[in-house]
Structure 1
């Protein structure tokens, strides 16, 4: 039962029922009462009990001790006691790294100052969530920009590679100009590799997922990793014996692991230890919300090294594309890992400090049940029928003019009849006006207005016998990945060479 100063009595129920840590004290700061949340936040002291009158120094003792700069916090409390106005909320950081929000409110009774009310709230988790959301939004914005640039570059590189190959056939084997041409082509292919990394970061890369036993896959990588890391770095790999399956693109998961390993190697030029561990863990609802992934069983791949580690500024920018502390590196290692994992439905965490090495955790949803194929309505697009006599007719739809001209030239050289359109609307008009058979629709996936999937559905409604081959450099959204790649529909990835184009077209035509 409360037996303290009568002027505090009316406010005791408020102190008792507030969820925040609360200290109510007399106007002179001599006596105080705290609630259970205060003791839970700052720890107890001998003689300090919830809702019991104590001297203020006893109530504040453990609170002041929670901060490194105790004198500064004491001075701020004293200054606020002397101000008979409500203070703005302020943020303090404790010695153990917690973020606390606190505020002071003078309590008046009939216009007379009756008490001081102090409230502290642990905002650590909220601040971490806010920072996680800000970083996610920033990376998504950069990712959309990177994906758009990479898409345009893939179209340009398709034209560069294609015309290089066409020119190559016009020179004699010993012609020195062929060397120059090959250098141009090689540069274009290196640029294509760069765009693939950008697309991986932006989560718009074409993926071909399957059931992958991560532990088994990593168990087959020691020799390759040893060659990558060199003799100075010892590689240690561990994982469960009964496997850890995920539904992902195995090539992309390998790329992520190799990217992290390469970063670790570069961070340890004098040698060190690279550890890769696979484990099955549970992600609860709270952590799943912070990581922006689904809760439940996950496969965790931990890649750690004992290198020099990163400071806070480097850590904050580690996932930004083209950020690097080791020029002439491209700065796409961690961004690529981030994009691959996020596109697979997982999450990445990064922990590092100067002198303590770096630890990266990849969390991927564990494979538990078969993936349902929801793309059955478009299955009609893959019907095979006998090809009529005479050259096959191909309707090509591509919004990049240079690629459209290249495809038309290559296919006509193979004896095919080509109808070409730069967008879906023009393609639909050709489809309606052409009185004969159209054997194949070769369409880009990502186009202004109607996309390739929508176009294929409309054309197939009027020509159920038509075959469809999709081409693209990236997946604009989840439906493209699901309805084309995951459904096993014919697909041609940009940039492509002329011989790859003709081979794929002939395969689909049968």
Structure 2
């Protein structure tokens, strides 16, 4: 119940702030409709707030227990990650030594590509923020010995104590005043949707590593037939381990 209350409180505050921006901008727009430049600025402010609300809604929908598995597609995660390099380097900025590693062989898995991209971006942004825009961040995709794909994001930040580590995946929990606290929750939602697992490892002074493992899909390309629903054992794999 405490987590539900925190989630509801975070949603209420964030949406209230966004709605305040939108209503204020629209009110002023109507009052100054004869000033094209001001109308343009106010309209842009309202549009930006609306887009932020839309993005938050998409993130929150990922917490639903009945994710739409029809969105899953057999894709090479190495290719997807390589395609995100420019975006990730933009997030990292000039002060962070960003390393991106992909396997030198195909890395197919059944994922929602939009959710994968959102999870990678969220984890990279978290890592950059934890490093205060300096130090190093490593984003690695590898084929694990167990036959899974492992995506990990490690930062050289200050790390987390045991209490922070335990609460890290909670929606809207954050140690930063300027962050929404949805990064790890978003990554956890992606792992759950893909029948995978999320782990967080950290200690004070040793940085942090968040890893997502998803099953390697060895189904031959072009194979027909619907994918079966995951078994109860597979569904439990998505529980976060911290």
- What TM-score results when the alignment is normalised by the length of structure 2? 0.72
Where structure 2 has 5 or more consecutive residues not aligned to the other structure, the ranges are 231-242
Change (3 A) 1:220 1:191: closer
Instruction: Indicate the residue corresponding to 2:214 in structure 1.
Output: 364
Q: Equivalences for 1:109-508 in 2 at 5 Å?
A: 142=4, 174=36, 180=42, 183-203=45-65, 208-269=71-132, 271-283=134-146, 297-369=147-219, 370=223, 372-373=225-226
State the distance in 2 between where 1:235 and 1:178 align: 37
Instruction: State the alpha-carbon separation in 2 of the partners of residues 173 and 372 from structure 1.
Output: 59
What is the deviation of 1:173? 9.6
**In 2: Cα distance, 1:175 partner to 1:272 partner:** 42
Q: 1:299: Cα distance to partner? A: 0.8
Contact map agreement 1:299 1:364 (CA 8 A) in 2: yes
Give distance in 2, aligned partners of 1:214 and 1:232. Answer: 27
Unaligned runs of 5+ in 1: 1-137, 284-296, 375-476, 479-510
> Cα gap change, 1:327/1:239 in structure 2, threshold over 3 Å: closer, same or farther?
same
Contact 1:232 1:271 in 2 (8 A): yes
Tell me: CA distance 1:373–1:205, structure 2 relative to 1, closer, same or farther (3 Å): closer
Measured in 2, the distance between the counterparts of 1:277 and 1:177 equals 46
Q: Deviations over 1:442-480 (max 9, x none)?
A: xxxxxxxxxxxxxxxxxxxxxxxxxxxxxxxxxxx99xx
Q: Structure 1, residues 71-121: CA drift from partner, whole Å, max 9, x if none? A: xxxxxxxxxxxxxxxxxxxxxxxxxxxxxxxxxxxxxxxxxxxxxxxxxxx
Structure with max Cα Rg:
1
Find runs of 4+ consecutive structure 1 residues off by over 3 angstroms: 171-186, 201-207
Q: Kindly tell me the number of residue pairs found equivalent between the two proteins.
A: 207
Contact 2:202 2:209 (C-alpha < 8 Å) held by counterparts: yes
1:174–1:233 CA distance, 2 compared to 1 (3 A):
closer
**Could you tell me the TM-score, scaled by structure 1's length?**
0.36
The alpha carbon displacement at 1:270 in A equals 5.7
Note the alpha carbon deviations across 1:391-446, whole angstroms, 9 max, x for none: xxxxxxxxxxxxxxxxxxxxxxxxxxxxxxxxxxxxxxxxxxxxxxxxxxxxxxxx
Task: Give me the whole-angstrom Cα distance separating, in 2, the residues matched to 1:238 and 1:322.
Answer: 30
Is this contact kept in 1: 2:93–2:133, CA < 8 A? no
* Deviation digits for residues 260-313 of structure 1 (CA, Å, limit 9, x no counterpart): 111111111262111122221244xxxxxxxxxxxxx31111111221110001
When the two chains are superposed, the root-mean-square deviation of aligned CA atoms in Å is: 3.5
Larger RCO of the pair (alpha carbons < 8 Å, separation 6+): 2
In 2, Cα distance between the equivalents of 1:356 and 1:142?
A: 31
Indicate if the aligned counterparts of 2:92 and 2:133 stay in contact, CA closer than 8 A.
no
Q: CA deviation at 1:188?
A: 2.6
